[in-house]
């Protein structure tokens, strides 16, 4: 049995121990660094947790609270329980049982837990999925990521090659830039407003601040035609994965092949040494709708599907984890 387990809520003086742990965990990326989590702390009531065995930190859970519900931090793309390579399955079961009990005692009725897609694991890290199964967690959402395994041959379709060739003929220029103004103000924000009556998840000020905190991880690539920006993408780069956080183009210039030209360059040159290239989701309505055209465009670069799951579990179900080991 695992003994002397305890849980505490994150406080500012845990900043160093939290971030050190994130650097050592087998299923963490820079998104779990406190500087990333806290860029929007005014929007969420942080309820992140640290789980100890004696004085040894075993796991952390980036989270926020809304009334009687605990969420895997809603400001992050993915989340869940973060732990090290040495942590065994029986320990994760014990941690999850204690976590549910702790939350129940603190008047939390439900936990909404988003997982971390397997491509972001440094080593296999699906112990938490087994613990969720034991606790009778309900699958409430499933997103489909379009991912290229860069260690494999990934044939690009003829239509994408034609788009790329068009970009060459038109004299398009790709620039990696540290300034996000042009993409945010001239391409991304107007497109989201026009198509979805929405804004980017990150304001211009927020993405600039994050770039300052994580200069190696957050990268901006823009495409120019005759000196004017026509397309771009914001990439979040972690150890294994180059993930496209935002992709957008100037709609009046669709005939330029700007995105085909840009992504051929990123996949074949800039990020060719990564394990995976993640285009992100093409889903809407909590995974229940698929944007067919967007999904096809990603797949025509050689992308295939990786699943990202979201669960709901009652904290009262901690009892289901009591007599599992035989």
For every one of its 326 residues, what pLDDT tens digit does the chain have, with 9 covering 90 and above? 678 999 999 999 999 999 999 999 999 999 999 999 998 888 899 999 999 999 999 999 999 999 999 999 999 999 999 999 999 999 999 999 999 999 999 999 999 999 999 999 999 999 999 999 999 999 999 999 999 999 999 889 999 999 999 999 999 999 999 999 999 999 999 999 888 788 998 999 999 999 999 999 999 999 999 999 999 999 999 999 999 999 999 876 568 999 999 999 999 999 999 999 999 999 999 999 999 999 999 999 999 999 999 999 999 999 999 999 99
pTM of model > 0.75: yes
**Domain 152-274 maps to which CATH number in 3.40.50.20, 2.60.40.10, 3.30.70.270, 3.40.630.30?**
3.40.630.30
CA dist list (Å): 273 to 78, 216, 239, 277, 301: 23, 15, 11, 10, 17
Contacts of 124 (CB under 8 A, 6+ apart): 118
Helix, strand, or coil here: 230? strand
Pairing label, strands 289-290, 241-249: unpaired
Fold: same for 5-143+308-321 and 152-274: yes
Q: Where are the beta strands (DSSP E) in the chain?
A: 5-9, 49-53, 56-61, 63-66, 69-72, 82-83, 110-114, 138-149, 173-177, 218-225, 228-237, 241-249, 276-281, 283-284, 289-290, 304-314
**Domain 5-143+308-321 maps to which CATH number in 3.40.50.720, 3.40.630.30, 3.20.20.70, 3.10.180.10?**
3.40.630.30
Domain ranges of the chain: 5-143+308-321, 152-274
- How many angstroms separate the CA atoms of 151 and 269, rounded? 14
CA dist list (Å): 205 to 177, 242, 248: 16, 22, 19
- How many angstroms separate the CA atoms of 153 and 267, rounded? 12
């Amino acid at each position: 049995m695992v003994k002397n387990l305890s849980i505490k809520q994150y406080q500012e003086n845990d900043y160093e121990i939290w971030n050190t742990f994130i650097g050592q965990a087998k299923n963490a990326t820079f998104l779990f660094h406190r500087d990333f989590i806290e860029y929007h702390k005014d929007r969420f009531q942080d309820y992140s947790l640290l789980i100890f065995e004696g004085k040894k930190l075993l796991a952390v859970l980036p989270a926020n609270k809304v009334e009687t519900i605990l969420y895997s931090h809603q400001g992050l793309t993915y989340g869940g329980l973060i732990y090290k390579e040495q942590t065994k399955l029986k320990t994760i079961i014990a941690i999850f049982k204690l976590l549910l009990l702790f939350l129940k005692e603190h008047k939390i009725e439900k936990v909404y837990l988003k997982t971390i897609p397997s491509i972001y694991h440094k080593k296999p890290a699906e112990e938490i999925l087994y613990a969720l199964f034991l606790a009778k967690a309900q699958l409430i959402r499933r997103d489909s990521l379009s991912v290229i395994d860069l260690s494999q041959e990934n044939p690009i379709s003829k239509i994408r090659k034609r788009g790329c060739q068009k970009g060459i003929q038109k004299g398009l220029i790709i620039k990696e830039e540290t300034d996000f103004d042009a993409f945010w103000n001239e391409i991304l924000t107007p497109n989201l407003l026009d198509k979805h009556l929405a804004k980017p998840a990150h304001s211009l000020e927020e993405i600039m601040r994050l770039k300052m905190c994580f200069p190696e991880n957050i990268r901006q690539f823009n495409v120019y035609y005759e000196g004017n920006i026509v397309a771009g993408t914001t990439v979040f780069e972690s150890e294994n994965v180059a993930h496209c956080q935002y992709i957008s183009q100037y709609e009046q210039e669709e005939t330029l092949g700007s995105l085909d030209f840009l992504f051929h360059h990123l996949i074949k040159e800039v990020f060719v040494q990564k394990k995976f290239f993640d285009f992100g989701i093409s889903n809407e309505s909590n995974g229940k709708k698929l944007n067919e055209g967007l999904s096809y465009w990603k797949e025509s670069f050689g992308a295939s599907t990786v699943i990202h799951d979201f669960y709901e579990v009652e904290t009262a179900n901690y009892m289901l984890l009591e007599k599992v080991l035989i």
